[in-house]
Structure 1
């Protein structure tokens, strides 16, 4: 049985490891760093970012293990206040991991942001553990988000960005009623992620569930 619940600090390590593994093609691009050091750098930066996040973060658990995680972002007035993050020891990190690696990963976490409109709920990320893929978990979570957004008020839209390279993800979102709002090309994201072409998709909340 899967349980969806708000993210808590006690879930931090499991959640960070899940996100790092799910988006390894984006984050594991450091130069001259061992896999262990790449993970440590990611965890330091992700923990700092999460400490002051205004997103509504959720985890999905099975037998007390985090098997999926996602975050939703609304307009500034609707998000939780968030805590003020601790100062990031940027120069110490640069000395340990290399300035290029630190700044690349810092920008990777900062650049994929979207400012939602008043009627919009934006899916910042959705990560599912590898052993849970192909079991309908993604569809179930998207339906939960649809119901959650609809409960926030009528006329809500749920939106997200997805790389054009993620063919399976695009197929899933289309089956769940998402339509392409626009296609976007960012040379900077090509340098940061190796993926320059992205799609902004959206669906009206409260509409039909995901197709089989």
Structure 2
């Protein structure tokens, strides 16, 4: 584990509250690997042996139906963990995980993590806090999908990414627009229509660069 990977890992939400022996034990339990873009980390139905923390790049979590249609669940970036819910849950993966671009991942053996959580209360609390955060985030996501229109979902994402509270701003998407569409629960064509409707609010799109003429106007969408 190089210094950069270690720095990202210790700042990850599930590790940030650890110190001393508990932190050392979790760091020692991690193995680091690199994966190319579109690499399948695991598939739904496979035996769940590990959970992961993203150190660089992005990982897409999704499900497939019998007809091959895909539904995105989450886009994980640096510091995000995934599949840790299986420490106390099922023994098979409930979704697919695929790298969206070249990525570096920290991998933790689920049985080892469960044993460490039983030994170290701080580790157990850190994992439970992470699971609680994911549950609340999922509830917010479901509510937003049901209460907000497509343009409102896009506007909310842009406002969270804005570096300023008012005036003009520029936002660079960290990944392809197709990933953003899945993250917001939209088809790619629905995302395009949403961006088109946001032109009235002063939003223009040039590749991954989103120009916002007035952040305050975008809040009124």
- TM-score class normalised by the smaller sequence: 0.3 to 0.5
Larger radius of gyration: 2
**TM-score normalised to structure 2 length:** 0.31
**TM-score normalised to structure 1 length:** 0.32
